[in-house]
């Protein structure tokens, strides 16, 4: 039997990049999957169709992660569609790379609203439906553990907040058998941070493996933490960064 058979997962920001890979992997492991997206309905529908072609169920829900009411509604729509919620993956996130002194208040607010407030609101809404043994998974960042390059001050601060949120929440919901873990990617080849981009050379050089990671490598770790074999792992910050923080 598939590891996630009869389970329902919600992946925020699941229309592209790491989020899309996570959604497809959880579906491949047997889950029914809901994804949220901010603007690109076509990209979201492509993920839903890919999961459908593989014989699994999926839906896409429009919800900007910075909009608290929208993310709460996305949780309710997931439960309405599938009848339950077992796995929440807080993947939606953003960064606006630039020197801190040049960052505008609006830009910093946007990063905080998506990376922290959105995570808080989605998780709180999900916990109302999650039964014992559920899984809450953050997609944080290796820079939330150690800032290795300039230009990501607000982003690093929010991912540091996600790290501590994970640890603190794990303490509160552990008696329900719900695990809370934080996957911390290093440089991953996506549209937002391409391996051929302007910021790629120093990031690649900072890794021990001298390469960018692939979205499937992050999805594999998320799938493990979502599955039954990780039941004694909680409050952990699991860094998948090619040795960047080694």
Positions annotated as catalytic residues are 155
Counting Cα atoms < 13 Å in the Cβ hemisphere of 8 gives: 18
**Total residues belonging to the chain:** 246
What is residue 9's three-state secondary structure?
Answer: strand
**How distant, in Å, are the alpha carbons of 15, 33, 107, 112 from that of 87?**
17, 9, 30, 23
Query: 42: which residues sit within 8 A by CB, 6+ positions away?
Result: none
68: left (phi over 0), alpha (psi -120 to 50) or beta: alpha
The two structure tokens encoding residue 221: 């770790």
**How distant, in Å, are the alpha carbons of 18, 68, 107, 116, 156 from that of 183?**
11, 23, 25, 15, 14
Query: 104: which residues sit within 8 A by CB, 6+ positions away?
Result: none
Bridge-partner residues for 180, per DSSP? 136
Residue pair 123/166 in contact (Cβ under 8 Å)? The answer is no
Task: Give the DSSP letter of residue 22.
Answer: H
Give Cα 41 distance to the centre of its chain. Answer: 19
């Amino acid at each position: 039997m598939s590891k996630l058979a009869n389970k329902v997962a919600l992946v925020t920001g699941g229309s592209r990049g790491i989020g899309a890979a996570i959604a497809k992997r959880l579906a491949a492991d047997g889950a029914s999957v809901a994804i949220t997206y901010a603007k690109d309905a076509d990209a979201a529908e492509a993920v839903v169709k890919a999961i459908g072609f593989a014989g699994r169920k999926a839906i896409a829900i429009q919800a900007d992660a910075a909009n608290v009411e929208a993310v709460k509604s996305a949780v309710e729509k997931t439960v309405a569609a599938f009848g339950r919620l077992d796995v929440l993956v807080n993947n939606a996130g953003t960064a606006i790379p630039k020197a801190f002194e040049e960052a505008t208040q609006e830009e910093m607010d946007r990063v905080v609203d998506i990376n922290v407030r959105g995570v808080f609101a989605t998780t709180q809404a999900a916990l109302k439906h999650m039964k014992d043994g559920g899984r809450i998974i953050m997609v944080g960042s290796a820079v939330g553990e150690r800032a290795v390059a300039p230009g990501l001050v607000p982003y690093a601060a929010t991912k540091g907040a996600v790290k501590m949120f994970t640890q603190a929440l794990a303490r509160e919901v552990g008696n329900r058998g719900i695990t809370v873990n934080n996957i911390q990617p290093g440089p991953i080849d996506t549209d937002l941070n391409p391996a051929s981009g302007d910021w790629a050379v120093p990031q690649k050089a900072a890794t021990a493996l001298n390469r960018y990671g692939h979205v499937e490598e992050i999805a594999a770790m998320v799938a493990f933490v979502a599955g039954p074999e990780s039941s004694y792992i909680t409050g952990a910050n699991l860094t998948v960064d090619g040795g960047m923080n080694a």
